[in-house]
Amino acid sequence: MTDKPFIDIRHAAKSYGALEVLKDISLQVRKGQIVAIIGPSGSGKSTLLRAINDLDPLTKGEVWLEDMQVNKPLPPRQYERHINQMRQQIGMVFQHFNLFPHLTVRGNITLAPKMLKRLTEAEANALAEKQLAHVGMLDRIDYYPSQLSGGQKQRVAIARALAMEPKVMLFDEVTSALDPELVEEVNLTMKKLAEEHMTMIIVTHEMRFAQDVCDRVLFMDQGVVVEEGPPEVIFRNPQHERTKNFLRKHLQGNAQ
Amino acid sequence: MLRVYPFFLAAAWVTIQLSIYTTVLGLICGSLGAAARLSRSRILRFVGAAYVSLFRGTPALIQLFILYFGGPQIGIQLDAFEAGVIGLGVNIGAYMTETIRGAIVAVDRGQSEAARTLGLSRSETMRKVILPQAARLMIRPLGVNINALIKGTALVAAISVVELTYTAQRYIGSTYKPFEMFLLAGVIYMVIIYVTGLAISWLDRRARIS
Ligand SMILES: Nc1ncnc2c1ncn2[C@@H]1O[C@H](COP(=O)(O)OP(=O)(O)O)[C@@H](O)[C@H]1O
Ligand SMILES: [Mg+2]
């Protein structure tokens, strides 16, 4: 347990004008760890996740990935180069997939590796095939996103992120926009990644999934981490009133 | 009456050429204008905004007059056709600036977020992700601009470019048939606009399918 943190968020704070969305959050994630972030809507979960790759820059605080500071203060030009490098190592999957509609599944997956890793067409194709096989979507390689179901789109989005061989994967409510019967296929894909010891931070409203897959659960409310711990503790024996209230609402109907 | 047809055909050709050159110049100005409007530089954004409000906020005819009649006073010597193309092109470019900018900002924010998240730079994101999608969105509205521009070429009759409108006016004198002359010009404009419209619909459909 003395491992150096893989991801280290130090005193993260973020405001929109007078609205404090994140209030001095610190979080360390070890390599291979799988962290779930839960909490009510508007509590700052997405903002925290999006601060990790600087999509939503912090007002204060630092984000480190291994021994590199992601949000390193640099002059604009240098920063642009630095952050593009960092982002290649941080995969992200969004609630609304954000696949590129003008490209096929293959095109979606090979775009970044071809441009950024200078892969040849053949290498990029091999990579796309490998990643698609991994998420069970190889037979759709020449489809356009509009020809896929929500669950299939999300699996392609995961494959697209994985194709950059990131060190960390960030998931922001990736099953929230899906029809209930399509959630499982995406969850299974994420479970598979978990078994392969991918380091993951998963914002989710699916308590059961968090319980099954994650090593650690953070409960956020109003811009602070109210409580955190292993899923057994957070879900079975939460300490804070706010956590209890939240879980009472969200565990209804979920088998315990 | 029959003897005027060849002159009208020649004039129609001039109108078509005017339209083509103006469209090309308009697209160039529109692209530069949109780039300026969306630039990270405050100065460029201001230049872009000033261009749009200046050229959309004054009559195109006045802009043409300033260029053609006022130009020589400040050392700009252009023949009427050149002045027509430049005047109309720069004018329609202001409208196209807004069309192009509108199409670019209409591309979902999630698209650039996804591209940036993969590590693509701003310009790579623009080229590979945003512009290909914006291009599809802008075909129809640019078609509207081009439609307006073709009709707008009639303005250059006022600086004596021998195009359709000017030709119609000229043959009223010898034929005493203003109704027929203007009707003929109108019909030819309609054909040009109709064919252009078909071409734009075709482009739009093609962009959608692929
Ligand atoms: N661009 C923005 N401008 C102003 N407020 C924002 C912006 N983005 C998010 N917020 C606010 O920040 C708070 C946290 O948002 P978010 O991180 O999306 O919450 P969650 O993901 O937990 O639902 C919310 O109150 C939201 O309204
Ligand atoms: Mg959110």
Mean pLDDT within B34-42: 95
Contact B115 A100 (CB under 8 A): yes
Closest to B192 (Cα-Cα) out of B163, B161, B155, B171:
B163
CATH code at position B73? 1.10.3720.10
Sequence-distant contacts of B198-205: CB under 8 A, at least 24 apart? B200/B139, B200/B140, B200/B142, B200/B143, B200/B146, B201/B143, B203/B139, B204/B136, B204/B139, B204/B140, B204/B143
> What is the C-alpha separation between B107 and B176, in angstroms, rounded?
55
Residues 30 to 69 of B: which have CB under 8 A from any A CB? Answer: none
- Judge whether residue A253 has pLDDT over 60: no
Residue B107 contacts A where some CB pair is shorter than 8 Å: no
Length of chain A in terms of residues written: 256
- Judge whether residue A3 has pLDDT over 80: no
Q: What is the largest CA-CA distance in chain A?
A: 56
Q: Which domain holds residue B175?
A: 5-209
- Judge whether residue A193 has pLDDT over 60: yes
Measure in Å the smallest separation between the Cα of B196 and chain A Cα atoms. Answer: 26
Q: What pLDDT does residue B112 have?
A: 96
Contact B128 A111 (CB under 8 A): yes
Contact A85 B119 (CB under 8 A): yes
- Tell me the CB-side half-sphere exposure of residue B146, using CA atoms within 13 A: 24
- Judge whether residue A1 has pLDDT over 90: no
Confidence at A252, pLDDT banded by 50, 70, 90: low
Q: What pLDDT does residue B209 have?
A: 67
- Judge whether residue A255 has pLDDT over 90: no
Q: What pLDDT does residue A256 have?
A: 39
Question: What's the pTM value of the predicted model, to 2 decimals?
Answer: 0.89
Question: A28-32, A59-63, B155-159, B169-173: lowest mean pLDDT where?
Answer: B169-173
Instruction: Say which residue the tokens 């490098």 belong to.
Output: A85
Domain count of the fold of chain B: 1
Q: What pLDDT does residue B151 have?
A: 96
Q: What pLDDT does residue B210 have?
A: 61
Please give the order of strands across the beta sheet that includes A224-229: A90-93, A168-172, A199-203, A34-38, A216-221, A224-229
Q: What pLDDT does residue A175 have?
A: 95
Which ligand has the nearest atom to the CA of A23?
Answer: 1
Mean pLDDT within A198-210: 95
Q: What pLDDT does residue B207 have?
A: 87
Mean pLDDT within A124-128: 95
Mean pLDDT within B126-133: 96
Choice from A20, A47, A204, A219 to test ligand 1 binding pocket (greatest atom count within 8 A of CB): A47
**Percent of chain A, pLDDT > 70?**
97
Q: Residue type for A70, please? A: V
Closest to B166 (Cα-Cα) out of B176, B180, B181, B187:
B181
Cα A186 to middle of ligand 2, angstroms: 18
Average pLDDT score over chain A:
93
Q: Residue type for A227, please? A: E
> What is the C-alpha separation between B85 and B176, in angstroms, rounded?
31
